Structures are given as C-alpha cells and as structure tokens.
Amino acid sequence: MALIITDECINCDVCEPECPNSAISQGEEIYVIDPKKCTECVGHYDIPQCVEVCPVDCIILNPDVVENKEQLRAKYESLIAKK
C-alpha cells in the first residue's frame, strides 16, 4: 500500500525532505503523498522514513491503494529507471 497523510497533519515540514522518492508535497491545507511515487521506502529503507519522523503519527496506509511488497519493489525499480 502507499501511504496517506491524515488531516491531523500539523504542517511541520519534517516528512517531505525524508521521502527518497519525492512523493510528499505541500497540498492546499496539509502535506499529501503521491501514491504513484510512494513505495513505503521499499528499495531505500526498511521502514517508511516519513512515518519515523512524523511527530503526530498522521501517516497511515492508504486503504485505496493496496499493494504488496513485490508491487512496491516493482514501483521502486520503475521510478529509479526513470532517473
């Protein structure tokens, strides 16, 4: 699954620079995660870095984007191939 930021986000700015895929950006009111770029840090780290640094625990699994580890790995490989 990709991750999603809930409306509990306090716009603290710590998650965006931690994302190795540049999937996090400032939305209209809170930060948002692009599910096409989010690999839950598969390929980069063992755990999602945004979740690690979030002080309010507002980053959760996106129930609308269900992916297993193999799919996340394939997305990661596709993203690095475009670089």
Q: Find the CATH number of the domain harbouring 70.
A: 3.30.70.20
The model carries a pTM of 0.93
For the CA atoms of the chain, what is the radius of gyration?
Answer: 12
> pLDDT digit string (tens) for 57-66?
999 999 999 9
* Confidence (pLDDT) at 1: 80
* Confidence (pLDDT) at 82: 82
> pLDDT digit string (tens) for 1-50?
899 999 999 999 999 999 999 999 999 999 999 999 999 999 999 999 99
Number of domains into which the chain is organized: 1
Residue 83 has pLDDT above 90, yes or no: no
Among the listed residues 30, 32, 42, the one whose alpha carbon sits nearest the alpha carbon of residue 4: 32
Domain of residue 7: give its range.
3-81
